[in-house]
Structure 1
Amino acid sequence: MTLNLCKDPWLLFRLTSGDTAMLPLKELGREDLRDIVMPRQDFYGATWQFLIGILQTAFPPQDEDKWLEYYQTPPSPDELAKALAKIEHAFELFGDGPCFMQDFDSLEDGTHVEIASLLIDAPGGNTLKLNTDHFIKRDQVNALSPALAAMALFTLQINAPSGGQGHRTGLRGGGPLTTLVVSSDPSLSLFRRLWLNVLPVNQYRELQPPSPYDESVFPWLAPTRSSKEKGTEVYFSDEGIHPLQQYWAMPRRIRLETTEQKGRCDLTYEQVPVTVTSYRTKNYGINYEGTWSHPLTPYRYDPKKPEQAYFSSKGQPGGIGYRQWHQFLFEDRDQGHLPAKVVARLGASQELLEEELELEDHLSVWVFGFDMDNMKARSWHEARMPFLAMASELIPLFVQEVGGHVNAANDYRKSLRRNCKSAWFGAGDSSGDLSFIDDQFWSATQHDFYALVDRLKADIESGQQTLDTEHCLTWISGLKNHAINLFDALVLSDASQSEHLERKLGARRWLEWTKLDKAYLKKHGLNEKGVARA
Structure 2
Amino acid sequence: AIALFAIQTNSPAGGAGYRVGMRGGGPLTTLVVPQEEDKYPLWKKLWLNVLPQEEPPNVTQHPLIFPWLAPTKTSEKAGNVVTPDNSHPLQAYWGMPRRIELDFTHTVAGICDLCGEHHESLLLQMRSKNYGVQYDSWLHPFSPYRQALKDPSAPWLAFKGQPGGLSYKDWLGLMLNREDKFNKMQPAKVVRAAGQRNNMSLWCFAFDMDNAKARCWYQHRIPLISVSHEEQFLAALNTVLVLASEALSLLRNALKSAKFDCPKEAKMDFSMVDIAFWQETEPAFRALQEALAVDPLRQDTQTRHAVSQWEAELAHYLFHVFDRDALTNPDCPDDILQRQLTARQDLASSYRKHKARKDVLALVE
Q: Say whether residues 1:416 and 2:251 are aligned partners.
A: yes
Q: Which runs of 5 or more structure 2 residues have no equivalent in the other structure?
A: none
Of 398, 418, 437, 2:273 maps to 437
Task: Give the letter aligned to residue 222 of structure 2.
Answer: M
Cα gap change, 1:517/1:249 in structure 2, threshold over 3 Å: closer, same or farther? farther
From 496, 502, 509, the equivalent of 2:345 is 509
Alignment correspondent of 1:451: 287
CA distance, structure 2, for counterparts of residue 163 and residue 377 of structure 1: 12
Amino acid in the other structure paired with 1:373: D
Identify which range, 411-420 or 429-438, moves more after superposition.
429-438
Name the SS for the 2:140 alignment partner.
coil
In structure 1, the partner of 2:130 is: 283
The alignment-based identity, stated in percent, is: 38
2: distance between equivalents of 1:466 and 1:293? Answer: 42
Secondary structure of the structure 1 residue equivalent to 2:96: coil
Contact 2:243 2:356 in 1 (8 A): no
Matches within 5 A, 1:166-181: 166-181=17-32
* 1:299–1:522 Cα change, 3 Å: closer
Alignment RMSD (CA, Å): 2.6
1:310 corresponds to: 156
Residue 309 (structure 1) shift: 1.4
**Equivalent of 1:372 in 186, 189, 209:** 209
Pairing 1:74-153 to 2, within 5 Å after superposition: 150-153=1-4
The match for 1:263 among 110, 114, 128 is: 110
* TM-score w.r.t. length of structure 2: 0.89
Question: In structure 1, which of residues 339, 343, 346 is the aligned counterpart of residue 191 of structure 2?
Answer: 343
Contact 2:291–2:303, Cα closer than 8 Å, also in 1: no
- Which structure has more relative contact order (CA 8 Å, sep 6+)? It is 2
1:292 pairs with 2:138: yes
1:370 maps to a residue whose letter is F
- When residues 223 and 497 of structure 1 are mapped into structure 2, their CA distance, relative to the original with a 3 A threshold, is farther
Q: Name 1:327's counterpart in structure 2.
A: 173
CA positional deviation for 1:381: 2.3
For residues 408 and 199 of structure 1, the distance between their equivalents in structure 2, rounded to whole angstroms, comes to 37
Residue 136 of structure 1 is matched in structure 2 by: none
Q: What is the CA deviation profile of residues 455-478 of structure 1, one whole-angstrom value per residue up to 9, with x for unaligned ones?
A: 111212x68599965332222111
Return the offset for 1:224: 0.8
Aligned-residue offset at 1:315: 1.5
Give 1:311 deviation, angstroms: 0.5
Q: Which moved more, 1:277-286 or 1:176-185?
A: 176-185
SS at match of 1:158: helix
TM-score by length of 1: 0.62
Code of the aligned partner of 1:191: W
- Could you report, residue by residue, the CA deviation over 1:435-493 in whole angstroms, capped at 9, with x for unpaired residues? 11111111221000000001111212x68599965332222111110111111111224
Report what 2:223 is aligned to.
Answer: 386
Instruction: Tell me how far apart the structure 1 counterparts of residues 360 and 278 of structure 2 sit (CA, whole Å).
Output: 24
> After superposition, what is the alpha-carbon deviation per residue over 1:24-61, rounded to whole angstroms, capped at 9, x for unaligned?
xxxxxxxxxxxxxxxxxxxxxxxxxxxxxxxxxxxxxx
Q: Distance in 2 between matches of 1:490 and 1:417?
A: 11
Q: Which residue of 2 aligns with 1:490?
A: 325
Letter in 1 for 2:123: V
Change (3 A) 1:427 1:288: same
Contact 1:467 1:524 in 2 (8 A): no
Give, as a single letter, the amino acid of the residue that structure 1 aligns with 2:239: G
- Unaligned ranges ≥5, structure 1: 1-149, 354-359, 527-531
In structure 2, distance between residues paired with 1:427 and 1:466: 46
Q: Matched residues in 1 for 2:341 and 2:122: separation?
A: 63
Q: How many residues align?
A: 357
- Relative distance call for 1:196 and 1:382 in structure 2 (3 A) is same
